[in-house]
Amino acid sequence: MISFKNKVVWITGASSGIGECLAEEFAKEGARVIISSHEPDELQRVQRKLAPVSKEVYPVVFNLGNPGEVQDAAAQVLKEFGQVDVLMNNGGISQRSLVAETPLEIDRRLMEIDYFAGVILSKAVLPGMIEQGEGYFGVTSTIAGKFGFPMRSAYSAAKHALFGFYESLLAENHRFGIRVTMFSPGRVQTNISLNALDKEGKARGVMDPGQAKGITPEACARKMVRSMKKGRRDVLIGGSELLMVYIYKYMRKLYYRMARRISPF
C-alpha cells in the first residue's frame, strides 16, 4: 500500500468539487498539499476549511488557460517546495455545443486548459521525480475520454489526448519509479456542466439533469485516493452510466446506435 504521508501533493482545480475533496483526502493522509485554481478567495476558503485537518495546505493561484502562468506556477512551486511527489492534474472545463456550431477558438481553449496545462506541469515536475526515483501522476479524465459523445467534441478530444500522453509517459518512465493513475468519472455532482462553454464561449449555467443525480465529489475523491494507494492505473468512477464504457468496448454497433439517440444531458 502506497503512503502519501509527508509527500508534496499538488492539486489543480482545487477550489471546488473533486479537487477540493481531493485536498481534504490527501490532508487526512498527512501530505503537504498545494491547492491551485484561478480563484484566490475560494482557495483561501478551502485552506481555512482544512485548517483543523492540516496546517500544511498551501494555495498557489494561476490560470490553466494561460501557458505563461502555468509555467510560472511550476517554477514557483519547485523553488518553494523543492520537489513535487504527486501531481493531481484535476482542473478543467467542459463544453456543450454541436461540432458544426463550435468555433475553433473554443476547441483550442479546451485543449489549452484540459490538456496542455497538465502537460506543462508534468514536464516541469517529471525530471525531479526521475532524479528522486519516484513520483506519481493522478489524472482526472472522464468517461467521455473513452468514447465520443454528442455536444462534447472539444471536451472529449482533450480528454482522449490525456490518455495518449500519460500512457506514453508511463511507458518511458516506469523504470524510474514513476506511477500514473488515469481516472474516468461518469456523473459527479460538481459545477462542470454549469461552467461548460456554449457555442458563444459563455458558461452554460445549467446543471445537466443526469449529473445532478450522480455521485458526490466526496465519494469520488475517496475512491481516487484509495485507488492511488493501491497503485491502480485505469479507474472508472460512477454509477450505471459506466455501462457505456463496456458497451463501447465490447458492443460497438450498439454504442453507435445509443450515442445517436441518447440525451446528451
In the chain, how many domains are there?
1
* Average pLDDT across the chain, whole number: 95
| pLDDT-based confidence at residue 207 (cuts at 50, 70, 90) | confident
Q: Does residue 161 form part of some domain? A: yes
Q: Does residue 2 form part of some domain? A: no
Among residues 69, 68, 9, the alpha carbon closest in space to that of 38 is found at 69
The 10s digit of each residue's pLDDT in 147-169 is 998 999 999 999 999 999 999 99
The 10s digit of each residue's pLDDT in 34-75 is 999 999 999 999 999 999 999 999 999 999 999 999 999 999
Q: Does residue 208 form part of some domain? A: yes
The 10s digit of each residue's pLDDT in 99-130 is 999 999 999 999 999 999 999 999 999 999 99
Among residues 182, 137, 162, 192, the alpha carbon closest in space to that of 16 is found at 192
Find out whether 46 and 35 touch, Cβ atoms under 8 Å: yes
Q: Does residue 264 form part of some domain? A: no
Provide the β-strand partners of residue 234: 182
Q: Does residue 16 form part of some domain? A: yes
What SS3 state is found at 115? helix
Cβ-Cβ contacts under 8 Å for 78 (sequence gap 6 or more): 84, 124, 125, 128
Nearest-angstrom CA–CA distance, 195 and 218: 20
Strands (E), the chain: 8-12, 32-37, 57-61, 86-89, 135-140, 178-185, 234-237
Among residues 78, 181, 61, the alpha carbon closest in space to that of 123 is found at 78
Cβ-Cβ contacts under 8 Å for 230 (sequence gap 6 or more): 1, 2
Q: Does residue 231 form part of some domain? A: yes
Per-residue pLDDT at 72? 98
Give alpha helix (H) positions in 133-173: 153-173
Q: Does residue 93 form part of some domain? A: yes
User: Can 155 be counted among the known catalytic residues?
Assistant: yes
**Catalytic hit among 115, 136, 155, 166:** 155
Q: What is the pTM of this model?
A: 0.95
Q: Does residue 248 form part of some domain? A: no
Nearest-angstrom CA–CA distance, 120 and 230: 27
Per-residue pLDDT at 134? 98
Looking at the chain, how many residues does it have?
A: 265
CATH number at residue 111: 3.40.50.720
Domain hosting 169: range is: 8-240
In the predicted structure, residue 239 carries a pLDDT above the cut 80: yes
Cell reading at 219 = 465519494
